Amino acid sequence: MNTDPELNKTTKILFRVHSELMDQDVEEIIGAETIDLEMGKFRIQDIPFYTPNLATDDIVHAEYDSDEEMLIYRETLIPSGNSTVWVVVTDETIPIEEIQEIFLELGCDSEEVSEHFFAMEIKATTNYFRIRDKLISLKSEGRIDYAESCLSIDHQY
């Protein structure tokens, strides 16, 4: 049994990336599980709100920065196969929870970012075509808009 208290410990990592979608540099602090502190390996736990090309369970490399006094993301080592989709509820008469519930029934967890915006996790084992069909349908009805911020190889079309 591993008794190393640093392993499986939750930590925070600062991500600084350029978002093509938002056409600006973004900063986001994301929770991760320590896999190997000495090697700087961590597993992403939180659904990314603003950081593109990142999903839950991705294994990343991060290094401690003494100026920032925290871990800084350096690179993704092993993609998890999960995907991340950002959803904006464009019909203000619809509560965000109603849209989140539709995707929860399809197996997608999500985290609310604001009153009209949530980030959604699509696990590698989930049939993305069912999710995509629902996204397209809701968009065509004028209820939402969305961006596929991180689409795994398994979910690409």
Q: Which CATH class is domain 83-155?
A: alpha beta
H or E element: which one contains 5? none
Of 9-18, 39-48, 144-153, the poorest mean pLDDT is in 9-18
Enumerate the CATH 3.30.70 domain ranges in the chain, comma separated.
83-155
What pLDDT does 132 receive? 97
Distance of alpha carbon 133 from alpha carbon 55, whole angstroms: 21
Kindly tell me if the per-residue pLDDT of 1 is higher than 60: no
| Cβ neighbours for 91, distance < 8 A, ≥ 6 positions apart | 142, 143, 144
Strands 70-78 and 24-36: what pairing?
Answer: unpaired
The per-residue pLDDT for range 88-139, each reduced to its tens digit, is 999 999 999 999 999 999 999 999 999 999 999 999 999 999 999 999 999 9
Residue of 15, 29, 9, 19 lying closest to 73 (CA atoms): 15
pLDDT at 33: 97
Amino acid 18 reads H
Residue 17: what pLDDT?
84
Asked whether residue 74 carries a pLDDT value surpassing 60, the answer given is yes
Mean of pLDDT values over 64-82: 96
pLDDT at 19: 75
**pLDDT tens, 16-28?**
988 776 788 889 9
Residue 30 has pLDDT above 50, yes or no: yes
Determine the pLDDT at residue 8.
Answer: 62
| pLDDT tens sequence across 31-65 | 999 999 999 999 999 999 999 999 999 999 999 99
